Amino acid sequence: MFIGRNNELNELNRLYNSNKFEFAVVYGRRRVGKTTLLTEFCKDKSSIFFVAEEHNNKRNLENFSDTVLSHFNMKGFIPDFNQWDMAFKYIGKMSEDKRLILVIDEFPYIATANKSIPSILQNIIDHYLKDTKLFLIICGSSMSFMEKEVLSYKSPLFGRKTAQFKIESFDFFTSCEFFKKYSNEDKVFCYGVLGGIPQYLEKFDYNLSVKENIKNSFFNKNSYFYDEPRNILQQELREPMFYNSIIETIAKGATRLNEISTKVGESSDKCSKYIKNLCELGIVEKEIPLGEKQSSRKTIYKIKDNMFSFWFRFVFGNTELIEQKKIDYIYEKKVATFISNYLGFVFEEICIQYLRRKNFSKDIPFIFESIGRWWGNNPKKRREEEIDIICRNNDQILFGECKWRNETLGMEVVNSLIEKSQIFNCENKYYMFFSKCGFKDDVIEFSRNHGNIILLDVDKIIDDVLNIETQ
């Protein structure tokens, strides 16, 4: 079943219906669903779908020739192409009067084996393809390669694309399509474990509880997830052991560069370069307080991919126990004790995603122009403060507080956020409180008497979005 990606699919179909030459670049991290999207798009259309592999140039060209000639039923009638430009010219000729899609998946493999491929394509596009009805799509999982060697102004292909698609992981609400059977609390739990990578979401057995899935899929050395992060890092990076140390350090709470470098035992400059590579892979992301410059010294780093976060927090350091098959012990002593705190950060991200969706549907007090977390100095109290969520436009601010606790949210939380909001000078302030287990009676009464106070429990957050999408 094809889930999500409706916007991307609609845009690809719009380009297809132009019936003129189009050149789209599709990229995103491994497992995110690029090939699935393009396969769905090509369904019932005349298309050549070539998936490159890590071969030398000669082998890649032979495989490409075989794919192209087989599509036109010409295999054996004409010889394989002995040059890439010959192959592309042939495709151009065959699409002069007929719509044809050519997908080259894992393009970095052929461009690495033959560094002249981007220049060859540029020349072919300019002189042979631009007046055809070919829809050319090149796709790649190496995001740094695609951004630097294909999309960059230094690339020979710069200025030739007619569209580009950076395929991101699903947000929480789209991911819920996979685990409809779960309670809303377990949906949050499941998303905190798997994140929004489609291939990961397909691996759980949703007839089992989240707990049983974790035990079967993460704490079993023969399972898919047991070595998945290691496999990804080995495919993409040199020195995976050093990257392991950085990711584990961030997963266990060190978020600032100096903290990370101290715990890893390497210089800040070296750690910074490695963290940059992890950011390019979509595993780690840089975060700054809302309103700060990108160069802010308040910069922190967090793991963007929930599966990596869960794995390095709860699996990486417990491999010896997993080898001993102490599965129940690991879950009860290493996971259950700390999972509520872990899910607190996941819940914050879900609440931000909720607000982005509501901003699109215009179903909040005002349309905000920026959203994020904030931390910094409170000059009145002379102490550091943190605010989970801030949304703002020029003259309005919404402050959000998120609590993933097994207790109802009380007035002390409300008063604390209102007090912290005094740091910001703005007349129109709104407050939104997100709670796993609802609110105490005095908080509910307070919100009734103050029109700028909004209360949302986990059921309201999830049902509000999912019910709208199913109508």
For 395-453, write each residue's pLDDT tens digit: 999 999 999 999 999 999 999 999 999 999 998 999 999 999 999 999 999 999 999 99
The Cβ of residue 118 has, within 10 Å, a number of other Cβ atoms equal to 19
Per the rule left: phi > 0, alpha: psi between -120 and 50, beta: everything else, 40 is alpha
Cβ-count burial 166-197 (b if 16+ within 10 Å, e if not): bbebbbbbbbbebbeebebbebbbbbbbbbbb
- Domain layout of the chain by residue ranges: 6-166, 173-343, 345-470
pLDDT of residue 471: 47
Closest CA to 170 of 198, 143, 148, 151: 198
Confidence of residue 360 (pLDDT cuts 50, 70, 90): confident
Give the pLDDT confidence of 105-119 residue by residue, as tens digits.
999 999 999 999 999
- CATH of region 6-166, choose from 3.40.50.300, 2.130.10.30, 3.40.1280.10, 3.30.420.40: 3.40.50.300
Question: According to the model, what pLDDT value does residue 468 have?
Answer: 60
User: Which residue has better confidence, 67 or 79?
Assistant: 67
Q: What is the DSSP string of 392-444?
A: E-SSEEEEEEEE--SS-B-HHHHHHHHHHGGGS--SEEEEEEEESS-B-HHHH
Q: What pLDDT digit, counting tens, does each position of 154-170 carry? A: 999 999 999 999 999 99
Fold assignment, 345-470: Trna Endonuclease; Chain: A, domain 1 (3.40.1350)
SS3 of residue 53 by DSSP: coil
**Which tokens sit at 50?**
């070539």
pLDDT one-digit tens code per residue, 287-311: 999 999 988 999 999 999 999 999 9
What is the distance between the alpha carbons of residues 123 and 134, in angstroms, rounded to a whole number? Answer: 15
pLDDT tens across 96-105, in order? 999 999 999 9
The domain made up of 173-343 has a fold known as Arc Repressor Mutant, subunit A (1.10.10)
pLDDT at residue 185, as a whole number: 97
pLDDT at 33 over 70: yes
pLDDT tens digits along 111-147: 999 999 999 999 999 999 999 999 999 999 998 899 9
Amino acid at 364: I
What is the percentage of the chain residues whose pLDDT exceeds 70? 99
- For residue 58, pLDDT over 80 is answered with yes
Distance CA 129, CA 87 (A): 12
Query: For the residues 27-52, what does the mean pLDDT come to?
Result: 96
Q: How does residue 75 score in pLDDT terms, banded at 50, 70 and 90?
A: confident
Q: What percent of the chain has pLDDT over 90?
A: 90
Q: Give the containing element (helix H, strand E) for 287.
A: strand 284-287
Element of type H or E holding 453:
strand 453-457
The length of the chain is: 471
Q: How far apart are CA 127 and CA 19, in angstroms?
A: 18
